[in-house]
Amino acid sequence: MNTTLSHLAAHSRVWIFQADRFLTERETQMINHKMNEFIPNWASHGNELYGGFELIDALFLIVAVDEAKSPASGCSIDSLTRVIKDLGVTLGIDFFNRLNIAYLNSTGKLNLVSMTTFKQLIRDGEVTENTIVFNNLVQNRGDLNDKWQTVVKNSWHTNLFELA
């Protein structure tokens, strides 16, 4: 079974879990192993879910499901959440901290900072409205491809300029 996202339609629902730090190679291997076990057995009310996952940049765990084939239920979403939380406990990683922001600096390097630091970078002029950020609120695979990496002015991050 293909567990990557490449086989899923653009309308497929996505969940983006951003780690609170960059993953090591060993952690990446462990997560890949666990998700390769989980995804093929993921079900909703006894129906197999047509899903996939990818680990991107040793920071983002992205999970998707084609709900046109079989919709995810509350129970199936809970089972996904449990797997991610268990991985976090095992590895000492918080995949649910929404106060960290990933962005590309002026040289194109991926950075992860607290929201407080991000606001300071705005005040210092190091982050501008044209800085590339990762909008982890995208809802489907099409938006993941087209709107996940975007400039600040086209994302919810633009609200931080008012607070900086």
Give the residue numbers spanning the domain of 47. Answer: 13-91
37 in a structural domain: yes
Under the phi-then-psi rule, with left for phi > 0, alpha for psi from -120 to 50, and beta for the rest, what region is 45?
Answer: left
17 and 81, same domain (yes or no): yes
The domain spanning residue 149 has which CATH number?
A: 3.30.1490
Q: Examine the fold and report which residue of 63, 91, 119 is the final residue of a domain before the chain moves on.
A: 91
Please state the domain count of the chain.
Answer: 2
86 and 111, same domain (yes or no): no
Q: Are 48 and 70 contacting, i.e. CB atoms less than 8 angstroms apart?
A: yes
82 and 111, same domain (yes or no): no
Residue 3: its pLDDT value, please? 60
Each residue's pLDDT, cut to its tens digit, for the chain (164 residues) gives 456 788 899 999 999 999 999 999 999 999 999 999 999 888 766 677 889 999 999 999 999 999 888 888 888 899 999 999 999 999 999 999 999 999 999 999 999 999 999 999 999 999 999 999 999 999 999 999 999 999 999 999 999 888 76
6 in a structural domain: no
Residue 71: its pLDDT value, please? 80
User: Cα dist. 111→105, 140, 148 in Å?
Assistant: 7, 24, 15
> Cα torsion at 143, 147, 153, 156 (round to 10°)?
50
